Amino acid sequence: MRVFVTGGTGFIGHYVVKSLLEKGHEVVIATRHPNKVPSLRSHANVSFVEASLTDFEKLGAGLEGCDACIHIALGWGETPISMLMNDTRATVNLLEMSARAGCKKFIYTSSTAAMGRMRPVMREATSNLPMDLYGATKAAGEAFVLGFTHGYGTQFPEVKMSRNIIRPGYTFGNPAVPDGCSQPDRRFFEMAMAVKENRDINLIKNDGTQFIHASQQAQLYLKVLESDCNEQIYLGLGEVWMSWKEIAEMMISMKPGCKSKIVETDLGWGDEPMLFDVQKIKDHFGLVFDAHDYMLDHVKWTYSQL
């Protein structure tokens, strides 16, 4: 397949691109920074469209001849209107342009933030109750992707393009290639620096999540792309919950004689975490993820970067 990927030089994006290339697909990367990952720039099966998400003419031209579109990039804003214009509007335009270009498949990258407030049961069918603008724009994007279902006038007499959604949770990892990038969240580096300097690590008691490694996340994208599913939502999360305290303990264990201590602030979060139900990716694709082995390697890599 010829696959159009927005944000293909970003963290999750360059993992997805690497996986696509390993499976023999041709990739067109839409990015503002085409030189960010030089090894991708020089790859024979990769071409680039230098554009932001609001450069609709360039994106439309890049989509011509593509079989699928994987939308990973995020358009940011500080206000409801700017988020609407930079992300939601961009997603809707990309959705329409993909259909117009003849793409057979469209995968939208949402987030668990679209679901918002944690409840006792958190699965794909749980209603979205976003708690911030990021979650709101992701929920809005999901609605447009799922709602683009049938014929609309003369421009879209019918919608043949399958449309699916992936909701990544906290995704971490070393760079996929030597000149790639890691996750933008700095908490790993902040903890490692505290250990290096023998400072205390300040955490919230019982804070954690179902971490997933970026290579595992990429597996889910490939499974969805190569499947016949349509109008499905998938949670991109590990099965096993891990606390930030456990990660901090890994950090401390890396330095013999470390004097750092873990200081927890109690906000009343219960000892039993509320979990996302990831049974659907197991049922549909046989995917079950545990990030523990990857986590230790990532902790070691983080130290090596200091």
Q: Output the CA–CA distances (angstroms, integers) from residue 220 to 15, 124, 127, 161, 234, in the order listed.
A: 11, 15, 22, 19, 9
How wide is the angle at C-alpha 75 spanned by C-alphas 154 and 97, nearest 5°? 20
Q: Report the C-alpha gap between 75 and 28 in whole angstroms.
A: 19
Q: Report the C-alpha gap between 14 and 255 in whole angstroms.
A: 31
Residues (pLDDT < 70) of the chain are none
pLDDT at 156: 85
| 201 shares a domain with 67 | no
The CATH number given to whatever domain includes residue 255 is 3.90.25
| 181 shares a domain with 125 | no
| 190 shares a domain with 113 | no
Residue 285 resides in a domain: no
| 116 shares a domain with 13 | yes
Residue 298 resides in a domain: yes
Supply the pTM of this predicted model.
0.96
Contact by Cβ (8 Å): 59, 30: yes
pLDDT at 151: 85
**Tally of domains in the chain:** 2
Residue 124 resides in a domain: yes
Q: Report the C-alpha gap between 184 and 202 in whole angstroms.
A: 20
| 36 shares a domain with 94 | yes
Contacts (Cβ under 8 Å, ≥6 apart) of 171: 11, 12, 183, 211, 212, 213, 214, 217, 236
In DSSP terms, which residues pair with 27 in a beta bridge? 3, 46
Residue 40 resides in a domain: yes
CA torsion, points 192, 196, 197, 202, in degrees to nearest 10?
Answer: 30
Residue 88 resides in a domain: yes
| 259 shares a domain with 119 | no
Contact by Cβ (8 Å): 299, 238: no
pLDDT digits (tens, 9 = 90+) for 258-273: 999 999 999 999 999 9
The CATH number given to whatever domain includes residue 6 is 3.40.50.720
Residue 55 resides in a domain: yes
| 187 shares a domain with 77 | no
| 155 shares a domain with 23 | yes
Give 116's Cβ-side CA count (13 Å radius): 16
Domain interval for residue 95:
2-170+214-236
| 101 shares a domain with 226 | yes
pLDDT at 70: 98
Residue 281 resides in a domain: no
Contacts (Cβ under 8 Å, ≥6 apart) of 179: 37, 38, 39
| 161 shares a domain with 48 | yes
| 97 shares a domain with 30 | yes
| 160 shares a domain with 17 | yes
